[in-house]
């Protein structure tokens, strides 16, 4: 009986039987052993919002290298696997899919049905994620797989937070959040989509009260957010604009000295623009500084004078 050797290595045929043999032999199992030093890595639990990507591949490969090395060095090495619920992020993904496929919102389903859909999504993608890790050859102790919202983890979180609160080590405070206007709830930074848009500079004038000869009759403010004008209470001016320009020029000169041939033209252009600004802006900035020091006031615009606004792209 002859057996023909394949002319190339086919990982799809070779890897799975080898991995199955490792698992059946308990090669990845980590049990307490007083005769061995312990070594443990808790896998950063992937979100069940979707499948693993290349970044997960790199991260988990490095962890696998470390834990396998420790096993060979005689440690009782544990690589603890698990997945993360990702909070509102998973709900956002499920609701988006619900809208795309069924043109429905969570209000159409009701709370119980939405929760059931989210758990179904979790089960589907958790299975997919763990399967991806196994196909990579990750040597986790799969007997210990956890999900961050399972009963064990949920109880541990409640107990830990209660203990920390009781010791006055944590407290509830008011924090800024990223508000999703579609889902009507807060989301994490990961779920915020940044979009660059063409904006405008809006210019409006604050009339100077009782200007003296030679003084400007108004101060022009440029902003991309004219709606904040209603909350304005003062116009800020630099107390020493000449010194500030000197400081910026010194920094640019240092930058120019260390600049490469490619960077030099850009830095030189900035220095040239700064020199031009000294001529066009510095005298007025000094005058405004002196007016502020003398107690000069400006008058805030009223809604009736919004016609003075002009925009500049």
Contact criterion met (CB below 8 Å) for 118 and 75: no
Task: In whole angstroms, give the CA distance from residue 142 to residue 134.
Answer: 10
* Residue 159, domain extent: 11-191
Say yes or no: 263 and 154 in one domain: no
Say yes or no: 114 and 24 in one domain: yes
Q: Among 280, 272, 266, which residue's Cα sits nearest to residue 249? A: 272
Give the pLDDT mean for 97-117: 89
Say yes or no: 234 and 282 in one domain: yes
- Domain end position, chosen among 139, 165, 191: 191
Mean pLDDT, the chain, integer:
88
Say yes or no: 252 and 162 in one domain: no
Q: Among 292, 277, 311, 278, which residue's Cα sits nearest to residue 235? A: 292
Q: Among 100, 84, 20, 80, which residue's Cα sits nearest to residue 52? A: 84
Task: In whole angstroms, give the CA distance from residue 125 to residue 132.
Answer: 10
Q: Range with the lowest mean pLDDT among 47-61, 75-89, 202-216, 225-239?
A: 225-239
pTM for this prediction: 0.55
pLDDT digits (tens, 9 = 90+) for 203-226: 888 899 999 999 999 998 888 888
Say yes or no: 239 and 282 in one domain: yes
Say yes or no: 225 and 176 in one domain: no
pLDDT digits (tens, 9 = 90+) for 127-140: 999 999 999 999 99
Residue 308 pLDDT level (bands cut at 50, 70, 90):
very low
Say yes or no: 137 and 227 in one domain: no
Report if residue 48 sits inside a domain: yes
Report if residue 6 sits inside a domain: no
Q: Range with the lowest mean pLDDT among 33-37, 81-85, 124-128, 184-188?
A: 184-188
Say yes or no: 151 and 228 in one domain: no
Task: In whole angstroms, give the CA distance from residue 252 to residue 246.
Answer: 10
């Amino acid at each position: 009986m002859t057996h023909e050797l394949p002319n190339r290595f086919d990982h799809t045929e070779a890897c799975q039987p080898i991995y199955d043999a490792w698992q059946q032999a308990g090669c990845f199992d980590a049990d307490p052993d007083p005769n061995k030093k312990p070594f443990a890595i808790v896998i950063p639990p992937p979100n069940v919002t979707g499948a693993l990507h290349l970044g997960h591949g790199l991260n988990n490969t490095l962890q696998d290298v470390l834990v396998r090395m420790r096993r060979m060095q005689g440690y009782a090495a544990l690589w603890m696997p698990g997945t993360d619920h990702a909070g509102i992020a998973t709900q956002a993904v499920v609701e988006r899919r619900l809208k795309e496929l069924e043109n429905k919102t969570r209000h159409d389903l009701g709370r119980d049905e939405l929760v059931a859909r989210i758990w179904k999504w979790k089960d589907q993608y958790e299975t997919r994620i763990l399967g991806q890790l196994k196909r990579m050859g990750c040597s986790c102790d799969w007997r210990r797989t956890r999900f961050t919202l399972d009963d064990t983890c949920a109880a541990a979180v409640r107990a830990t937070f209660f203990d920390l609160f009781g010791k006055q080590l944590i407290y509830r405070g008011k924090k800024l959040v990223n508000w999703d206007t579609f889902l009507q709830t807060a989301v994490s930074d990961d779920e915020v989509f940044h979009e660059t848009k063409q904006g405008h500079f809006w210019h409006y004038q604050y009339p100077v009260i009782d200007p003296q000869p030679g003084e400007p009759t108004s101060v022009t403010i440029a902003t991309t957010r004219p709606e904040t004008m209603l909350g304005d209470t003062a116009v800020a001016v630099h107390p020493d604009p000449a010194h500030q320009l000197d400081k910026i020029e010194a920094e640019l000169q240092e930058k120019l000295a260390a600049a490469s041939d490619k960077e030099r033209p850009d830095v030189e252009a900035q220095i040239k623009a700064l020199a031009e600004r000294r001529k066009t802006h510095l005298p007025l900035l000094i005058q405004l500084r002196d007016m502020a020091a003398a107690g000069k006031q400006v008058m805030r615009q009223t809604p009736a004078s919004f016609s003075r606004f002009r925009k500049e792209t």
